[in-house]
Amino acid sequence: MIEIKNLTKRYGSFAAVNNVSFTVNDGEILGFLGPNGAGKTTTMNIITGYMSATSGDCIVNGFDILAEPERAKKNIGYLPESPPLYGDMTVLEYLGFVADIKGVKKNGRGKAIEEIMETVRITEMEQRLAKNLSKGYRQRLGLAQAMLGNPDVMILDEPTVGLDPKQIIEMREVIKKLSKKHTVILSSHILQEVSAMCDRVLIIHRGRIVASDTTEKLSLKLTQGHKMLVRVRGDLDKITETLGNVSIITEVKPEGSREAGMHDLTVSGDENTDIREAIFNVLAKKELPILMMRSLELTLEEIFLQVTTGEGSYEEE
């Protein structure tokens, strides 16, 4: 649906976006993350056609955003962080105005607007002036204008910023529904929201992609098997002593017992050291059965910090 190839944007000698390539699949919700100044907004501005790239290609639903801008933009609905509303228009007037700009056919336009207002739950505000809407309703109206014309791609920049917890839950539900008919790129600083809504995350740092995969797969790659949660049947002191005698294991921490005779333990080793086989072998020799062993997953916050403060790159295979 979206294909970015070797995208670069330079301001003099400074590269805001440096040779970035990625794809977004049909019906996917992609979380697009990055620290301030990382190149995230610049990349989204290029995808939407707001600015041009220094080099590289941006293809939206088969159309090059630079070579065929009108055809490409017809496939894009964009919700910027601050929705572009006209305060002296009512909700209904504003959506009709946007429909005119987007060239939405008048035949069936009224029904389309009604359905969109119902989807974003703003129907009861249709006669209210945009300037009198709360922050939450302004965000919903911004999302409604992005949906007009039924674009294949939705680009949402901080859609939940400033919303209360109830509004965040409602906006999350709307965005998940969008993925059934649209491809969604979601940018947010609220990493918990990205984890809850997105199929895959892409992290940009200093103009380059430093991570691209599901949260679960990135966590597995970054932990690399050096921190495990194991459940073992047997005497706790014997289990702890057995694991503690393994040279590549640096810490054994009991985490409690859920059933009689079974113990959960967090077992850690040096970074870049896979301790799974060592755990299995030493406990098997002592006839201490392993009932469960799994890698301790990093949160998206931990992944974000690790890839934006280190030098590594963790793209999907």
Pick from 213, 202, 219, 217: nearest CA to 38: 202
- What is the architecture, at CATH level 2, of domain 1-75+151-213? 3-Layer(aba) Sandwich (3.40)
Q: Specify the 3-state DSSP secondary structure of 216.
A: helix
pLDDT on residue 297: 64
Contacts of 36 (CB under 8 A, 6+ apart): none
Q: Specify the 3-state DSSP secondary structure of 4.
A: strand
All structural domains of the chain with their residue ranges:
1-75+151-213, 89-143, 222-295
Structure tokens at 6: 């070797």
> Which strands make up the sheet holding 2-11, listed edge to edge?
14-24, 2-11, 55-60, 63-64
pLDDT on residue 226: 78
Q: Kindly provide the residue ranges of all beta strands, DSSP E only, lying in 249-289, ordered along the sequence.
A: 249-256, 262-269
Contact 146, 154 (CB under 8 A): yes
One fold for both 1-75+151-213 and 222-295?
A: no
pLDDT on residue 53: 94
Helix 109-119 and helix 135-147, axial crossing angle in degrees, nearest 10:
140
Helix 91-102 and helix 109-119, axial crossing angle in degrees, nearest 10:
120
Q: pLDDT tens per residue, the chain (317 residues)? A: 899 999 999 999 999 999 999 999 988 999 999 888 889 889 999 999 989 999 999 999 999 999 999 999 999 999 988 888 999 999 999 999 999 999 899 898 999 999 999 988 899 999 999 999 988 899 999 999 999 999 999 999 888 877 888 888 888 888 888 888 889 999 887 787 788 888 899 999 999 998 888 877 776 666 555 788 999 999 999 999 999 999 999 999 999 988 889 999 999 887 677 888 999 999 999 999 999 998 776 677 777 887 887 645 555 54
Pick from 216, 143, 142, 138: nearest CA to 184: 143
Residue 255 backbone dihedrals phi, psi, to 5 degrees: -115, 10
pLDDT on residue 224: 55
- Pairwise CA distance, residues 251 & 227, whole Å: 9
- Pairwise CA distance, residues 11 & 21, whole Å: 19
CATH of 222-295, one of 3.100.10.20, 1.20.59.10, 3.30.420.10, 3.30.70.1340: 3.30.70.1340
Burial of 184 from C-beta contacts in 10 A (0-12 / 13-18 / 19+): buried
